[in-house]
Amino acid sequence: MITTDQIINIKKPKLKADIIDVLKNRFSPRFFTPEKIKDKEINSIFEAVRWTPSAYNNQPWYFYLIERKTKAFKKVINCLPELNQWARTASALIVACYLKDKDENKAKYAQYDLGASVMSLVIQAQSLGHYARQMALFDKEKLIKEVNINKNHHPFVIIALGKLGDYRKIDRPLLERELRPRERKRKDNIMIEI
C-alpha cells in the first residue's frame, strides 16, 4: 500500500539548479480529496489570474469554475474521454477559455496569454496547498452545449483542482499511472549561448 507522502516523494524533480519551492513541489496528480476549496482560496487563485501579464493588457481569458457535487460538474465529466475520468475525484473543475479579438494583432496572442494565466492559477493554487492537472482531451462541442459556454469563449483546457487524495484509497490502474516519476523529456532545449 502506497501513501500520499510516498507519491509526493516520487514526484520530486531531479533539478539541474535550485528553483522556488512552489515550482519544485508542483506536479499534476490524478487523485484528489472531495474537500471543497474555501471561497477565500478561490478568490486568491483568481486574483492571481487577474494580475497575469498579457499582450496589450488584453486579458483574453475567461474561466468557468465548476464545483463538485453540482449538475454542471457531472456534465463536464461526461465531456471527458475514459482516459481522463479520474477527474471526477477533483474538488473543482475549471474550464479555461480564450477570447478571440477582432483586432488581429491582439487575437494572435490569446492562446499564449491564456497559457500564462493558467500558469498563474496553477502556481497560486499550489502555494495554497492545492494541486492542479490540466486536460486538453475533451469534447469541446459537447462541453459548449452541455455547460452553456458563451459563444465568444473558446474552451482550451479543463483544469482539475484540489488537495491530494489519500493514495491508500486509489484504484490500482490509476495508481500505476501515478507511480511514474516526474521527468522532463528534453534536457538541452533551454539555454543556448549565441
Domain chopping of the chain, boundaries? 35-163
Cα-Cα-Cα-Cα dihedral sign, residues 119, 130, 23, 168: negative
Q: What's the full length of the chain, in residues?
A: 194
Report if pTM > 0.85: yes
pLDDT band at 43 (very low <50, low <70, confident <90, very high): very high
Task: Identify the H or E element spanning 65.
Answer: strand 61-67
In angstroms, the first-to-last Cα distance of the chain is: 50
- pLDDT, tens digit (0-9, with 9 covering 90-100), for 128-146: 999 999 999 999 999 999 9
In 71-92, which positions are buried (b, 16+ CB within 10 angstroms) versus exposed (e)?
Answer: ebbebbbebbeeebebbbbbbb
Residues 49-68: tens digit of each pLDDT: 999 999 999 999 999 999 99
**Cα 162 to Cα 37: distance, rounded to the nearest angstrom:** 7
For residue 161, list its beta bridge partners: 92, 132
pLDDT digits (tens, 9 = 90+) for 77-121: 999 999 999 999 999 999 999 998 788 877 889 999 999 999 999
- Confidence at residue 183, expressed as pLDDT on a 0 to 100 scale: 77
Residue closest to 160 by CA, chosen among 92, 103, 111: 92
Tell the CATH topology of 35-163.
NADH Oxidase (3.40.109)
Residue with cell 538541452: 188
**pLDDT of 188 above 90:** no
